[in-house]
Amino acid sequence: MRLSEDRAASEPPVLRISELSKNFGGARALDDVSLAVRHGEVHGLLGQNGSGKSTLIKILCGFHAPDGSPVIEIDGRPVSLPVSVASLRAHGVAFVHQHLGLMPSLTVLENLMLSELAAGARGYIDWQAEARRARDLFARYEIDLDPLAPLSDLTPVARAQVAIVRAFDELRRDRAKSHARGLLVLDEPTPFLPAHDVEVLFRLVREIVADGASVIFVSHDIDEVLEITDRATVLRDGRVAGVFETAQVSKAEVIRLIVGRSVDLDAMRPPPKTLASPSIVISDLAGGGLAPFSLSLAPGEVVGLTGLIGSGYDEVIYRLYGASPASSGTLVLDGETVAVARLDPQRAIACGCVLIPGNRLQSGAVATLSVSENVNQPVFGAISRAWALSDTALLRNAANLAARFDVRPRDPQTLLGSLSGGNQQKVVLAKWFQTRPRLILLDEPTQGVDVGARAQVFGAVDEAAAQGAAVLCASSDYEQLTAICDRVVVFARGRVVAELGGSAISKAAIAEACYRSEANEERR
């Protein structure tokens, strides 16, 4: 159980930040920011990309030094700035960052002990005893993981569980030494997880709070913040735009704080389209857990694919692209028939088909290359001569695409990995949409994208559809499907079980179709 509100409010905050500012050159990233986290609460931190969230967290973990003379107190004790790792541990503060800080080449147990191994803290390690301790630790939080399994074998949600349990285990030991109440900072741990896996992590967060710690939950996702947090702070343009009790606000009010204006969520449905005859026909596509699937699409049509986790909707686009093997099926594009079982991504691209994967940095782009190097990959041959690449032409093309898709910063030589999630996604969209594809396959296109950039992603998809591309969008985000789709196809246990179209599409209708269909399939 969490502490009562009266008790939490009467105790000094676990974390208090006052008058925090930070400039980078002439840009003011944080401007006199104040924040308080109560004992026993989950405190959300929201804001668009560029709002200051990342800068605040980087100051708190010691990566940046603040400007001026701000005050940061943990458990009522002032913290020397810039913050050191030793000081954070002494004050009972631990972090889990978006990329988790795990080593896939090591076992789960070795990852749990990574800080000890790196520091050479012990000359001898009783691995059997440590494995028993790890099993007890996982059992405490009802997590079914083998400590001796390679981390590379784990699902994304299991890896996130390892990172969070490791951080909290270190936090508990530090708390025991220092008598600190404990603060765990989760910096966007969920952007590449489906809804079911997010709930698994939320159960773990609730267990951690019940164990006596407080949590800062940094996220772009308003629904997640409203579900898991007690209070939240919104940053906008480096300032605090508002602090609220999450049980007392609506989603529309939170969006208004984030973007600075009201947004009509009910007006997000696209207007009805007049569509031509279908020019793309998928017939009897099957493979893995996917039963034979057929669908016809018209140029400019956006069709959503959805269902509960494991229902098979997300298999369609990867098998159709040749990224996962199909056992059968044909694809007809403008009269050209292709056997899907013989497709690979290279042939799919040649046929006019492109894929925007769910995990853009792992499967859709290269973080260590520049925006220009990423965005020009499909068109090197078209804008450079066979015997030499023209840097001028490549940079010009990248700059034009950055302007068209509003990629920020505009410098095409910026490393992709240094951009925000929304801007990374705009680069991936620009990379493929410039080729004028006939069929666009999207997997969770706004995953890890803030509310401001979502609208720009939707706009890019609408523009591509207006130019004649057909779009298949696999997504567990019902609000996203409502905003961009002309039809929504619902899956359960590998089969199509429902289809919604036109005015019948709404977030509530999609959710009802998914859960009703799954229940019906279970009774079959």
Q: Are 510 and 482 in contact (CB under 8 A)?
A: yes
Domain coordinates in residue numbering, the chain: 5-263, 268-523
Instruction: Judge whether residue 292 has pLDDT over 90.
Output: yes
Q: Are 355 and 443 in contact (CB under 8 A)?
A: yes
Span 10-34, mean pLDDT?
A: 86
Q: What is the CATH number of domain 5-263?
A: 3.40.50.300
Helices (H), 22-155: 53-60, 85-90, 108-112, 114-119, 127-140
pLDDT of residue 488: 95
More confident residue, 369 or 115: 369
Coil vs helix vs strand at 93: strand
Span 40-44, mean pLDDT?
A: 94
Q: What is the pLDDT of residues 115-134, one digit of tens each?
A: 766 555 556 778 888 899 89
Coil vs helix vs strand at 248: helix
pLDDT > 70 fraction of the chain, expressed in percent and rounded: 88
Cα separation, 97 vs 219, in Å, equals 11
Cα separation, 340 vs 165, in Å, equals 42
Whole-angstrom Cα Rg for the chain: 24
Q: What is the pLDDT of residues 193-252, one digit of tens each?
A: 666 677 877 888 888 888 888 999 998 778 889 999 999 999 988 899 999 999 999 988
Q: How many degrees, rounded to 5, is the angle at CA 417 between CA 414 and CA 423?
A: 75
pLDDT of residue 130: 87
Question: Hey, do 5-263 and 268-523 end up sharing a CATH topology, with the first three levels equal?
Answer: yes
pLDDT of residue 118: 58
* Residue among 287, 162, 422 at smallest CA distance from 170: 162
- DSSP string of 416-458, one letter each residue: GGGS-HHHHHHHHHHHHHTT--SEEEEESTTTT--HHHHHHHH
Mean of pLDDT over the chain: 84
Neighbouring residues of 272: CB distance < 8 A, sequence distance ≥ 6: 502
DSSP 8-state assignment for residue 275: -
Span 366-379, mean pLDDT?
A: 92
Span 308-325, mean pLDDT?
A: 88
DSSP 8-state assignment for residue 363: I
Q: Name the E strands within 214-260.
A: 214-218, 231-236, 239-245
Count CB-CB contacts under 10 A for residue 337: 10
pLDDT of residue 446: 86
Instruction: Judge whether residue 25 has pLDDT over 50.
Output: yes
Instruction: Judge whether residue 3 has pLDDT over 70.
Output: no
Span 394-421, mean pLDDT?
A: 90
Neighbouring residues of 195: CB distance < 8 A, sequence distance ≥ 6: 309, 476
pLDDT band at 399 (very low <50, low <70, confident <90, very high): very high
Span 479-505, mean pLDDT?
A: 90
Instruction: Judge whether residue 386 has pLDDT over 90.
Output: no
Q: Are 304 and 249 in contact (CB under 8 A)?
A: no
The fold for domain 268-523 equals: Rossmann fold (3.40.50)
Indicate the pTM of the whole model. Answer: 0.67
Least confident stretch, 144-148, 221-225, 429-433, 435-439: 221-225
Q: What is the pLDDT of residues 130-186, one digit of tens each?
A: 899 899 888 877 788 899 999 888 877 788 888 888 887 877 776 666 667 788 898
Cα separation, 97 vs 221, in Å, equals 16
Neighbouring residues of 49: CB distance < 8 A, sequence distance ≥ 6: 220, 420, 421, 422, 423, 450, 452, 453
pLDDT of residue 1: 40
**Burial class for 403, CB neighbours closer than 10 Å (0-12, 13-18, 19+):** exposed
